[in-house]
Amino acid sequence: MKRNTNTYKFLFFALALFIVIGANSQNKKQLELEEKRQELKSEIKQLNNLLFKGKKEQKSVLTNVENLDYKVSVLRNLISITNQQANLLTREINDNQKKISQNRDKLKLLKEEYAAMIVKSYKSKSEQSKVMFLLSSADFQQAYKRLQYIKQYADYQKKQGEEIKQQTQKLQELNTNLSMQKQDKQKLIAENKISKNELENELKLQETLVSNLRKELNKYSSQIKNKQKEVDKIDKEIEKIIRAAMASSNKKAGKSSTSKTFSLTPEQKTLAANFTSNKGKLPWPVKEGIVKVRYGTKPSPIDRTIKIKSNGVRIATNKSEKVRAVFEGTVHTIMIPKNGNMVIMIQHGNYFTVYKNLSKIYVKKGDRVSTKQDIGEVLTSKATNETILSFAVWKDGKTQDPSSWVYKL
């Protein structure tokens, strides 16, 4: 019987250890999901303020559709994350229920063992029986062993009593956690219902706008293409300027002007190394904003046959928002295109950060700037009433994904 009890305890311990490891993993995942969910909720709040607050003032139906397309994608992500959390909570609730059942079984066994000990102790509880037990020893050595046995038995009784107390408390905690998890799950389900209703409303509105657009699709498709041509034209000019700077650096160093990398001075090498070491930690180029268009190429939400290419990110922000340098460097170029949307290019060794669509500029070519220094203001479009900053990162004449460089972009 004792051997069976020990085996049971060993198996229970092994199972408990496995459950603890699994629970820690689930808790970590739950925290990660909750952090992401809160970020998405914050993003929806920001985009409502930045993209939809002045909705009546907006003149461009294209912008309305683009904004709705973006909001729909964020809402879908929020619903997906919330579903993951609810599913994970369901698994945690099931695990907790299993643990409660196992702890009840263990507690029952402990109480049965303890009750048997108490009965046995009661039958031989008199001091006289203990003395007789010792005096009946054959010799001193046997008497000593019997004395030790009496002490160990008493200690074991005490230990069993403490373990029953601990297991009872643990069972109460598990029941409390289970109740809280069920409440959390119901809260998530309620919030998800609200998000789904909002998504349905936005999809209906989006479908209405897109239906109106389809009536004049050629007209709007032409506008999208022209806008992309303007973006490509400025990006080609930026690339040309960077490659000219690269050729100039190599010429000064006595190297081939066709080299595809910069020849840097010791100071520039240090600056570039510091820029590299801050990858993923650079500050946002504006204090407040949301990324409306990400790096890369994707279909237009208006006409899926047209590809929208972005060599950086486009950040929606507040009117008259200040633009900040994301890292120390030197103002290499200030561009003033015909459309008036000014551009600042800051060099950081063999890296360049580019800030497009500015209405005001606070710096001049050759200025040394520091991290988070205000360098200008973002332009607000008269046509759409939107304030959008285009931000890009270049390395040796090639574009980089800014989200890899800027913290939580």
pLDDT band for position 128 (50/70/90)? very low
- The pLDDT score that the predictor gives to residue 22 is 55
- The pLDDT score that the predictor gives to residue 257 is 77
Average pLDDT score over residue span 18-31: 66
Q: Which residue in 394, 332, 324, 341 sits closest to 231, CA to CA?
A: 341
Residues 396 and 350 sit within 8 Å (Cβ to Cβ): yes
- The pLDDT score that the predictor gives to residue 1 is 46
Q: Can you list the alpha helix ranges (DSSP code H) found in 124-216?
A: 127-135, 140-215
Q: Which of 159-163, 210-214, 272-276, 299-303 is least confident?
A: 159-163
As a whole-number percent, the residues of the chain with pLDDT over 90 amount to 34
Q: What residue spans define the domains of the chain?
A: 2-215, 218-404
Flag whether pLDDT at 4 surpasses 90.
no
Q: Strands 374-378 and 313-316, how do they pair?
A: unpaired
Using one digit for the tens of pLDDT, what is the confidence trace for 282-315? 999 999 999 989 999 998 877 888 888 999 999 9
Flag whether pLDDT at 376 surpasses 70.
yes
Chain-centroid distance, C-alpha 69: 22
- The pLDDT score that the predictor gives to residue 356 is 96
Name the CATH superfamily, with its identifier, for domain 218-404: Glucose Permease (Domain IIA) (2.70.70.10)
CA distance 344 to 376: 9
As a whole-number percent, the residues of the chain with pLDDT over 70 amount to 76
Mean pLDDT, the chain, integer: 81
Flag whether pLDDT at 328 surpasses 80.
yes
CA distance 398 to 392: 10
CA distance 103 to 122: 28
Which has the higher per-residue pLDDT, 255 or 334? 334
Q: Which of 63-67, 113-117, 180-184 is least confident?
A: 113-117
Using one digit for the tens of pLDDT, what is the confidence trace for 340-370? 689 999 999 999 999 999 999 999 999 999 9
Average pLDDT score over residue span 264-280: 95
Extract the tokens encoding 229.
């041509």
pLDDT band for position 123 (50/70/90)? low
Using one digit for the tens of pLDDT, what is the confidence trace for 169-187? 776 777 777 777 778 888 8
Average pLDDT score over residue span 271-288: 96
Average pLDDT score over residue span 180-207: 83
